[in-house]
Amino acid sequence: MGLFQKLKAGLQRTHSKLFHEIKRIVTRSPRLTGSSLEELEAALIGADLGYALTQQIIVAVKKAYETQGSGGVDVFTIAQGEVERSLATNDATLRRAPAGPTVVSIVGVNGTGKTTTSAKLAHLVQERGESAVLAACDTFRAAAIEQLKLWGERLQVPVVAGAYNADPAAVAHDAISAAQSRGAHYLFVDTAGRLHTKSNLMKELQKVHRVMDKKLAGAPHEVLLVLDATTGMNALNQAREFHKAVPLTGLVVTKLDGTSKGGMVVAIQKELGLPIKFIGVGEQPDDLQPFDPKQFAEALFSEKG
Ligand SMILES: Nc1nc2c(ncn2[C@@H]2O[C@H](COP(=O)(O)OP(=O)(O)O)[C@@H](O)[C@H]2O)c(=O)[nH]1
Ligand SMILES: [Mg+2]
């Protein structure tokens, strides 16, 4: 399956709901008279596209009817264009350190998909012909270390792990050494899940980052916050709190395949001004994609594919 097909399949629930609702509205009322515009608005809000973007789309639709008349107006194309335009400045490039390994810290609350995302990222750079090392810095749960080791075996990526309950900063330190001596391009650091409201755990994360910077100036070069799309707009609060504790460089939104509210990606990007770097559309290694606004908008609204 090609990248776009995978994306389309992953966004199936969101697409299907949006598509059927909008189709029903415009079929019944092609000129969107009466309460039809309000229904269109509700459909867009229902996909979690957010209030601001929804208004933008409604305004664009109204304008199109005024200037083109009902014959030439395609609500899907207009919505797609507005979503694409509103995300145009999003830069999904994974940073690259000028020298030595690029260290990427993967942070977030429990169960959002940090460990899976770390492994998928290692796979993604391998596919690009670059090498990766994984660091198991979730030392709170023995199962988390095992989980990452299994991924390492499956993907043939070296995993640096400490003992259960070891100091995660020490594991991160050793992992940087290992990545340096292997001449690896990337080090992906899987950290423990922590509630954004627990300040002691946030301090621990700050320490992990401080120790990395001491070992390799500038590290971590990327701090990616993993957000679970099925938690909807709650993800916004998580992002705000994490961003206060450790400066984030980007977001990863996982489990888009499990929600009909995939529009939250757009709303969150708009609200936080942080780039969406990757999206997760399934549990397999190649179910993580660099975020491409054009393809995302197309997968949401287009009938194609
Ligand atoms: N459907 C789906 N499941 C995902 C995705 N990303 C992660 N998961 C699943 O979510 C669960 C929690 O993931 P895990 O990486 O262990 O989360 P962590 O606690 O943040 O490290 C696992 O069962 C993963 O397979 C995704 O994009 N789509
Ligand atoms: Mg984990």
Residue 94 lies in a domain: no
**CB 118 within 8 Å of CB 280:** no
* Most distant CA pair in the chain, distance: 68
- Could you give the 3-state DSSP secondary structure of residue 105? strand
For residues 10 and 123, membership in a common domain is answered with no
Residue 62 lies in a domain: yes
Predicted confidence at residue 305, as pLDDT, reads 55
Q: Name the token pair of 112.
A: 């959002």
For residues 133 and 202, membership in a common domain is answered with yes
Closest ligand, as measured to the CA of 229: 1
The CA distance from 253 to 227, in Å, is 5
What end-to-end distance do the CA atoms of the chain give, in Å?
11
The CATH number of residue 16's host domain is 1.20.120
Q: Is the CB of 114 under 6 A from ligand 1?
A: yes
162's CB contacts (< 8 A; 6+ apart) are 136, 139, 145, 168, 170, 171, 174
The CATH number of residue 161's host domain is 3.40.50.300
Predicted confidence pLDDT, tens digits, the chain (305 residues): 889 999 999 999 999 999 999 999 999 988 888 899 999 999 999 999 999 999 999 999 999 998 887 677 899 999 999 999 999 999 999 999 988 999 999 999 999 999 999 999 999 999 999 999 999 999 998 899 999 999 999 999 999 999 999 999 999 999 999 999 999 999 999 999 988 778 889 999 999 999 999 999 999 999 999 999 999 878 999 999 999 999 999 999 999 999 999 999 999 998 899 999 999 999 999 999 999 999 999 999 998 65
Which of 54, 86, 118 finishes a domain?
A: 86
Distance 98 CA to ligand 1 centre (A): 31
Residue 301 lies in a domain: no
Residue 96 lies in a domain: no
Q: Which atom of ligand 1 lies nearest, measured to the CA of 226?
A: 20
The CA distance from 216 to 211, in Å, is 9
Q: In this structure, which amino acid lies at residue 248? A: L
Residue 119 lies in a domain: yes
Which residues span the domain enclosing 80?
Answer: 3-86
* Number of domain units in the chain: 2
Residue 26 lies in a domain: yes
Residue 93 lies in a domain: no
For residues 137 and 261, membership in a common domain is answered with yes
Residue nearest to atom 26 of ligand 1 (CA): 255
Q: What is the pTM of this model?
A: 0.96
